[in-house]
Amino acid sequence: MSNPSQYTSHQVDANGYINYSEQEHQIWQQLYARQINNLPGKACQQYLDGIGSLNMSVDRIPQLPDIDKVLKATTGWETAAVPALISFAKFFELLANKRFPVATFIRTKEEFDYLQEPDIFHEIFGHCPLLTNPAFANFSHLYGKLGLAASKEQRVFLARLYWFTVEFGLMQASNNTTNSTENNGFNIYGGGIMSSPGETQYALSNRPIHKPFNLQEVLRTPYRIDIMQPIYYVIENIDYLDEIAKMDIMGEVTKAQSLGLFKPLFDSPKQAG
């Protein structure tokens, strides 16, 4: 998380606002317009409700104080402007204090389809809508507290839990979700999928493996950051995150450390998990 960034971040002013260029606003507009129409019938209803609550601009990069007003009113969260990737320690500290880190740069046209580090579109569009949901917000808070108290070795295993839930999690589609049959009966709640048109289509297709969420399996499943995920774990509904929060997560981490990782379902370069 702490590798130097190749992107240029912005500093917030005394009121927490950022002066973005018109070119940067155009990138946001294009990203938003491309992805928003992909999500009905694919994104979980709680995410769509959150999009509605945030009422973010479609043609201007949202300002963090405006996002904060909604998050504070719904779940007590707020954002925290950060340069780009941050250390595990800082990441967990922010989550433990109900502050969601948001990188203050936006990708370039050359990186429109993929960039390695999460930008403001990924953070605001992908994650912040669900931070208006109590179960998602509570899980994120607990995760931060666990990570803050964990050892360096334990944090590596905890990273997989975050990856297969908050970033790339799926859930069973609700009965009132349109197109649930053609989406294999799944909805998206992971922000890494939500902010990626390609992964939105791929994750719900027959190409990857879909498995019911199992905490021990999740902790032992390697992942790569630079490919479409070969496997997704599926929870029953958004409230199941409350059930995960009640599990003995650190006890399962200890077991996973003893058992070791599963064989990766991908080639070895850039293995992150």
Q: Is the model's pLDDT at 179 over the cut of 80?
A: no
Q: What is the mean pLDDT of the chain?
A: 93
Higher-scoring residue by pLDDT: 269, 184? 184
Domain covering 22-259, topology? Phenylalanine Hydroxylase (1.10.800)
pTM: 0.93
pLDDT one-digit tens code per residue, 208-266: 999 999 999 999 999 999 999 999 999 999 999 999 999 999 999 999 999 999 999 99
Is residue 4's pLDDT more than 50?
A: no
Residues 156, 116: Cα–Cα separation, whole Å: 19
**217-255 burial by CB neighbour count: b if 16+ within 10 A, else e?**
bbbbbbbbeeebbebbbbbebbebbeebbeeebeebbee
Identify the CA nearest to 54 among candidates 154, 105, 124: 124
SS3 label, residue 171: strand
According to the model, what pLDDT value does residue 84 have?
74
Give the pairing type, strands 186-188 and 170-172: antiparallel
What gap in Å lies between CA 13 and CA 65, rounded to an integer?
11
pLDDT at 182 over 90: no
Distances (CA, A) of 207 to 91, 231, 247: 32, 9, 31
Query: What's the CA gap between 12 and 33, in Å, rounded?
Result: 26
Bridge pairing between strands 170-172 and 99-103: unpaired
Given CA atoms 95, 99, 101, 102 in this order, what sign does their dihedral have? Answer: positive
- Listed in sequence order, the DSSP H helices in 172-239 are 191-194, 197-203, 215-219
Half-sphere exposure of 114 (CA within 13 A, CB side): 7
Residues 83-133 pLDDT 10s: 877 999 999 999 999 999 999 999 998 888 877 789 999 999 999 999 999
Query: Higher confidence at residue 269 or residue 25?
Result: 25
Given a cut of 90, whether residue 272 has pLDDT beyond it is no
C-alpha distance from residue 67 to each of 72, 92, 129, 139 (Å): 9, 21, 9, 20
Residue 1 has pLDDT above 50, yes or no: no
* pLDDT surpasses 80 at 29: yes
Using the predicted structure, report yes or no on whether residue 199 has a pLDDT greater than 70.
yes
